[in-house]
Chains A and B, each alone.
Chain A
Amino acid sequence: MFYREAGHFHDKYRDEMAIFQIREDRIGIRLLLIAAFVAVPLLHAAGVPPFAGDYLFSAVLTPLLILATAAIGLNLLVGYCGQISLGAGAFMGVGAYAAYNVSVHLPGLPLLATFLLAGAASAVVGLVFGIPSLRIKGLYLAVATLAAQFFLDWAFLRVGWITNYSASGSVTAPPLVIAGWHVDSPVERYLLVLAVAAIVALGAANLVRGNLGRQWMAIRDMDIAAEIIGIRPMQSKLTAFAISSFILGLAGALWAFVNLRAWEPYAFSIDRSFQLLFIVIIGGLGSIIGCFLGAAFIWLLPLAVEGIPRWLSIPIAADAAANLTLGVFGALILITLIFEPHGLARIWAIMKHKLRRWPFPY
């Protein structure tokens, strides 16, 4: 009733090629972006309860948006190209340490250039570890990417120049300045991260609709058949690894510079890789919006598991909450795989589908 396709006539190819073909979608996404970019900071300035203070921005929104960005990177590889990777955390780490090294050795470079170089470094490393994918696939590839994870974990810890010979292994990010704008307060950091997330999401959405994205999906669906119709597996798999790692490296640099400020190699351990994989699975393999939904879910769930009992004034120990979170995570993954293999993104699509006809049953 309120949301329907009827009456939307496309008389130009441009209209048919739009990311959001339905006017309600276009209005909705614009409202969402305006709310995120303008309304949220204004509400913060006005001191409206959940937006007042720094907690929401520094502990919830900023990490959530960075994880969503990283998940987009991983989803391009796992969801669109079908190459499973358990090394996403390590590629984030490559981005973080590359950004750190660039900032140490080329202090004058603009921050955005630093971030892009970090992404590029991660893309190169991703390419190298993507080479095994030409010979092996599926579960075997998971082991190969685990090799990347463990090797890079070790390198962050033991290879001196990566951390600029820091004695403790932990490093600190330089102050964030973009064209004279000092990104200091949590709200400003949130805005920076939001801008990057929006650009990456838009770029990825366009990428997967184009030639390259279609190649990836063909490889994912049946690699031999794709090869027969003229897709070069080597080219498309390696571009998937490179672009995915680029985005992961960018997200890693953000995670280190904007979210953590000072970090140790543990920040990019195998746990991070699993967290990203779950975001992608629960959010929906092969879906950009799923990355945001999944990241919100995965990031908010532990807060909820810890917060709800306190809210209901049921005492719960910290380690019990951690175990509970772990168990709930596992159960959710199973439930998602069994009942909705396409994840939250699919549930979102079904809701939209129902809304099209609401309130009529059929």
Chain B
Amino acid sequence: MMLGFDPAKVGFFFEVLASGLLSGILYALVALGFVLIFKASGVFNFAQGAMVLVAGLALVRALGWLETQVPFWLALMLAIAFSGALMTGIAWAVERFALRKLVNQTALTLFMATIGITFVLEGLGQQIFGAQVYKLDIGLPRDSLFVLESVFDGGILLNQLDLWSAVLAALLVVALAVFFQKTQVGRALRAVADDHAAAQSVGIPLTRVWFIVWMVAGFVAIAAAAVWGSKVGVQFSLVYVALKALPVIIVGGLTSIPGAIVGGLLIGAGEKLAEVYLGPSVGGGIEHWFAYVVALLVLLVRPQGLFGDRIIERI
């Protein structure tokens, strides 16, 4: 084959790109939870992955039991409500028993505390809901879809499930944007994010804001778990998927919600393309570290990420 335009190869490239972008949306969903908590409390929340795991386990187990009792749509609603209630409970417990006691500690201490929270959630979650791999079906269509068949040979293969998750992610981002811009609670959250002390001095209760923000991060975790769970099943490896969210927010910027989305897309697309085009020459499996190396490079060149706030230190 001559070098140059080859429709089948270009089609394959776009196929890889599309699947990368779609898995990037999922990374972005998890990263959103990180950014929410970091913005409102300055806590680097390592527990986001464990929250996705617990949310997914609660959802899949409740759904599995309720399906046998009531019609599917009602069972789904009830299961979502159940996991929502659980995440609210977790948010309350985290604020009441950990964050409130650690107020004014260094960021490092808070980070390590979230590692502690991670282990408690993983241990209790698996003890209560079981530690097997559970198939989650929330009624999203799964058939493959061929698009642009007229342009490329054989068209571009897309997974409908991924498209639906993209729609869900977009809806979530719009909802969060409205919540932050238009509601009173959202404004309080933004005030706290801007300046803790100033927010407190005008009467915004810090502890309640923390509770709310962990709750919202919990709801985001449910959405991430629902989508990831439909794709790969609800299982412990969700925790490792969430570790991908760390490079995503480094690339996008710790404090930026659009940054989480863009970072997710960049990382998702980049690692799939790297795996397909660079992987074979170094032995494959580079998906596991590619995101981190990209994050490392971004850190060296532009530590605040693409959209983050610049940190200026004074003495």
Could you list which residues of chain A lie within 8 angstroms of chain B, going by C-beta atoms? 82, 84, 132, 135-136, 138-140, 142-144, 146-147, 150-151, 153-154, 157-159, 222, 224-225, 228, 274, 277, 281, 319-320, 323-334, 337-338, 341
Residue numbers in B under 8 Å from A153 (CB-CB) = 288-289
Residue on B nearest A326 in the bound complex, by CB: B123
Q: What separation, in Å, do the CA atoms of A331 and B123 have in the docked complex?
A: 10
Q: Is the CB of A143 within 8 A of B250?
A: yes
On whether A159 and B283 interact (CB within 8 A), knowing A143-B247, A143-B292, A147-B296, the answer reads yes
B270-300 CB mask vs A (1 if < 8 Å, else 0) is 0000000000001111101100110110011
Contact check: which of A139, A329, A331 meets B107 at CB < 8 Å? Answer: A139
B131 contacts A by Cβ under 8 Å? yes
A231 to B299, CA, bound (A): 24
19 more CB-based (< 8 A) A-B contacts, given A132-B300, A334-B98: A82-B108, A132-B296, A135-B303, A136-B299, A140-B250, A143-B250, A143-B292, A225-B315, A228-B315, A277-B112, A320-B127, A323-B122, A326-B123, A327-B120, A330-B119, A333-B116, A337-B105, A337-B109, A341-B109
For A136, A150, A151, A328, the residue with the greatest tally of chain B CB atoms inside 10 Å of its CB is A150
Can you show 10 pairs from A to B with CB atoms below 8 A apart? A139-B111, A143-B250, A150-B292, A151-B292, A323-B126, A326-B120, A327-B123, A331-B116, A337-B116, A338-B101
Report the nearest B residue to A147, measured CB to CB.
B292
| Closest chain B residue, CB of each to CB of A158 | B283
CA gap between A206 and B122 in the complex, in Å: 40
Q: Are A324 and B111 in touch, CB under 8 angstroms?
A: no
- Contact pick for B123, options A138, A140, A159, A324, CB 8 Å: A324
Q: Which label, helix, strand, loop or mixed, suits the secondary structure of the A interface? A: helix
Interface set of B (CB-CB < 8 Å, partner A): 44, 97-98, 101-102, 105, 107-109, 111-113, 115-124, 126-127, 131, 243, 246-247, 250, 282-286, 288-289, 292-293, 295-296, 299-300, 303, 313, 315
Q: Which residues of A contact B109 (CB under 8 A)?
A: 337, 341
Question: Which residues of B sit under 8 angstroms from A136, Cβ to Cβ?
Answer: 299-300, 303
A325 to B127, CA, bound (A): 11
Chain B residues with CB below 8 A from A84, complex form: 108, 111
In whole Å, how far is B266's beta carbon from the nearest beta carbon of chain A? 15
Contacting pair A154 B285 (CB below 8 A): yes
Q: Tell whether, in the assembled complex, residue B293 and residue A330 are in contact, meaning their CB atoms are under 8 Å apart.
A: no
Q: A150-B288, A150-B289 are in contact. Are A327 and B119 (CB under 8 A)?
A: yes
Residues of the B chain whose Cβ atoms lie less than 8 Å from the Cβ of A327: 119-120, 122-124, 127
Known contacts A154-B286, A323-B124; is A143 also within 8 Å of B299 by CB? yes
Chain A contacts for B124, CB-based, 8 A: 323, 327
If A323-B127, A337-B109 touch, whether A135 touches B288 (CB-CB below 8 Å) is no
Rounded to whole Å, the gap between the CB of B179 and the closest CB of chain A is 26
Min CB–CB distance A162 → chain B (angstroms): 11
Chain B residues with Cβ under 8 A from A341's Cβ? Answer: 105, 109
Contact between chains at B246 and A146 (CB < 8 Å): yes
Kindly state the separation between the CA atoms of A341 and B121 in the bound complex, as whole angstroms. 22
Q: How far is the CA of A328 from the CA of B119 in the complex (A)?
A: 8
Q: How far is the CA of A11 from the CA of B115 in the complex (A)?
A: 48
**Identity of the chain A residue whose Cβ is nearest the Cβ of B42 in the assembled complex:** A139
Q: From the candidates A138, A151, A228, name the one contacting B289 in the complex (CB within 8 A).
A: A151
- Residues A334 and B123 in contact in the complex (CB < 8 Å), given A138-B108, A151-B289, A224-B313: no
B286: which A residues are within 8 A, CB to CB?
154
Knowing A158-B283, A319-B131, A327-B124, the reply to whether A146 touches B243 (Cβ < 8 A) is yes
